[in-house]
Structure 1
C-alpha cells in the first residue's frame, strides 16, 4: 500500500522554500499533492492537490517540480502528466493555468507541453519550463500561453551542445543565465540570458 498520510510521502521530487517564513513546500509526486512543513514537524499540511489523480483544476497529476513565487504567495507547479504548468495560490482550492492545456492534451506546438518536469520563474514573472519529452526548454513570457523554444529542438533529442535529451530541471542565476539538468546526457548545460 502506498503511503498517503500527512507524515508520509510517496516519491518526493520537488522542493521550494518561502524565504520569508522558511516554510518548505514538497512535491509529493505519487500522492498528487503539495505539502508544507513547519519547522520540526513530522507531519505536513496539504496546500495543493490531494484530491486524487486527475485533470480537474482541484487536482494534480504527478507534481514533479515547484517554485515558490513570493510576489503572489503562490506555488508554480510542473503538473507532469496533466502536461501543464499551473499556479496554486496558497489558501486557494484550485489552480490557474500558466502553460500547456487544461484538459491533459500533450503536444509539441508552442502552446502545448509533453511531460514537463522542471519549472522556474524570473523576477519579471516569465516562466521557464523543462519540457522533458519534447527535449526543449520553453519560455512563457508573463501572462502568455504561447511559449518560445530557447534551448533544444522540439522533438529532437541528442548530445550535441545545441540539443537536449529529456531535460529535467531548470534554474536561473542572479544574471538570469539558465542552467538545465540534461538528464539522459548526464550533464548540466548553461545558456546565457535570453
Structure 2
C-alpha cells in the first residue's frame, strides 16, 4: 500500500490481485526495498520463493531471482523462503534466504546467486553460520548486517 503523508487510507502499490504466483499477484510478500533509480519496489515474494521488481504504476512484476512458479530449492538459482532484500548502488541484489540459512548475492541483471554469508542448508551459531536470517541492510562501506533471528544476534560481514 502507498499512503500520502497524513492520509488515513492508501492505494495499492503492488499486488492486490489475490494470493498467487502469477506476475500480477504476490504470495506473502515480506521484504521490500525501494529502488529510486527505476522507481520500483524490489519485493521478497516469500511464499512464491522469488524476488521480483514491481515498477510503481505497473500492473505486473518481473522476476529478479528465484522461481517463476513458486518452486523452492537450494541451488544457485532457487530460493527457499526469501524474507529480506536490499540493493547496493550498482544494482546488485542481496537476499536473506531464510530456510537455506544463507545470504545470496545476485549481480545486477543476473539470476544466478552466490552465497556470501552462511552455508547453504547448514544452520548454526558459529561466526560463519546463520540460523534463519531474516532482515539485511548495507552501510555506506557495503558492510552487510544480518538479523540472524534464531541466534538472537545481528551479524556484521565486512565488505572485501
Same fold per superposition (TM over 0.5)? yes
Instruction: Select which of 156, 159, 164 maps to 2:125.
Output: 159
| 1:44 Cα deviation after fit | 1.1
| Counterpart in the other structure of 1:31 | none
Query: Cα deviations across residues 33-80 of structure 1 (Å, max 9, x unaligned)?
Result: xx0110001111101001110000000001101000000000000000
**Deviation for aligned residue 1:193:** 1.1
- Out of 130, 155, 160, the position equivalent to 1:189 is 155
Residue 110 (structure 1) aligned with residue 64 (structure 2): no
> Deviations 1:85-130 (Å, cap 9, x if unpaired)?
0000001000000000100010000000000000000000000000
The reply to whether residue 46 of structure 1 matches residue 12 of structure 2 is: yes
3-state SS of paired residue (2:42): strand
TM-score by length of 2: 0.99
Gapped regions of structure 2 (runs ≥ 5): none
Higher relative contact order (CA 8 A, sep 6+): 2
TM-score normalised by structure 1 residue count: 0.82
Query: CA separation in 1, counterparts of 2:154 and 2:8?
Result: 34
Q: Supply the distance in 1 between the matched residues of 2:77 and 2:18 (Cα, whole angstroms).
A: 26
State yes or no: 1:176 paired with 2:107. Answer: no
**In 1, distance between residues paired with 2:11 and 2:149?**
31
Q: What CA distance in whole angstroms lies between the structure 2 residues aligned with 1:73 and 1:139?
A: 21
Q: Secondary structure at the match of 1:97?
A: strand
Deviation at 1:177, TM superposition (A): 0.4
Gaps of 5+ in 1: 1-34
The offset of 1:150, in angstroms, is: 0.1
1:13 matched residue in structure 2: none
Q: How many pairs does the alignment contain?
A: 160
Q: Which residue of 2 aligns with 1:149?
A: 115
Q: Secondary structure at the match of 2:82?
A: coil
What secondary structure is seen at the aligned counterpart in 2 of 1:184?
helix
Aligned to 2:105: 139
